[in-house]
Amino acid sequence: MAQPNSSFDEYASLTIANYSDDLRDNVSNNIPLYAFMKAEGAVVETDGGTTLLENLDFGDNPTFKWFDGFEELTVSQGDFATSANFDWKEANVNIVFSERDKAINSGKAKRHDLVKGRTRNAESTLRNNIGAALFYAGTENSGKSIGGLQYIVADDPTTGIVGGINRATAGNEFWRNQVVDESADSITFSATTMQDSMELMWVRTARGMDTTDLFVLGNTYWRFFAGSLNANQQYIQDGTMKKTGHASFPYYMFKTAKVFNDPNCSATRGYALNTNFLKLKVHKNRNMTPDSPRYPAGQRATVIPIDFMGNLVCGNASLQGVFHS
């Protein structure tokens, strides 16, 4: 069945389709944590599957042994690996035009303004919701949204089931993230103690060459860290991110890690992240890209869906850390 005012639908579809890559970049590049993870290669498109599986190496090879001469060696292989599974999480926003909208905006310039306005609105909606979800505790929206940093890098890592593994169970201590908090570590976070706290976290989250590469701080902790620096120290702008077309956010360096602020992070919370083992995995066919127009039965409207399907996954919790009061 031919659609009324089909030229409008064709114009809108082509405009949004041509804009789809820009739309995705404009969303991701305006979320600090997303942008920095993307620059580190930690935003990964992936295929389907019932869940997102992460293989975990939780122990050394048990066959290692110091020996002398003809002493018998250990050849029986024990368990040193397991898997964590993370559920797919889905989100959707729709660009909607009624037949009335089409009639009123039938001129080319008006069509352009309407399509651009609705697309920008969808873009900002995605940005706001995904940016917030990256810090979620996994219980928001009845558990249907992303299990964010408060879920994977918990304030109390001795409780809760993360990726199907119970952190409270004896033997699963390897799956607990690191914590620096005022009470347990006898620290009062301030501009004079913030760097010492980060140094402590650096030591706790280091394993050989595996070290923190991102510190993301809430507003209060960001001000503490910035205030602790020499007045002559400059912000660094990420040249790599600029060259690849990503947004550029100001950041400092602490050792070899980037330190930046994300307003979605609670003001008195910060995270030390190792993105070799922390990824945002997104389905390659549902990575904030517009789909074909739909025409709802019983309504005089055109709907262009934009979908997201993915989740934050972790391959080593012990190398992630959280600061909190």
For the segment 147-154, the average pLDDT, to the nearest whole number, is: 97
CA 83 vs CA 175, 261, 292, 314: distances in Å = 11, 32, 36, 10
For the segment 196-202, the average pLDDT, to the nearest whole number, is: 96
C-beta separation of 107 from 324 below 8 A: no
Q: Where are the domains of the chain?
A: 6-58+82-324
The percent of residues in the chain predicted with pLDDT above 70, rounded, is: 84
d(CA 126, CA 132): 10
The angle, 0 to 180 degrees and rounded to 10, between the axes of the packed helices 108-133 and 32-39 is 80
Q: Give me the pLDDT at residue 245, please.
A: 41
Q: Give me the pLDDT at residue 190, please.
A: 95
C-beta separation of 178 from 210 below 8 A: no
For the segment 201-211, the average pLDDT, to the nearest whole number, is: 94
Q: Give me the pLDDT at residue 44, please.
A: 94
The yes-or-no verdict on residue 54 having pLDDT over 80 is: yes
Tens of pLDDT, residue by residue over 250-306, are: 899 999 999 999 999 999 999 999 999 999 999 999 998 888 888 888 888 888 899
Type of residue at 216 = V
Q: Where are the alpha helices (DSSP H) in 81-209?
A: 99-104, 108-133, 149-152, 194-204
* CATH number of the structural domain 6-58+82-324: 3.90.1690
Strands 250-254 and 236-237: antiparallel
Strands 321-324 and 301-314: unpaired
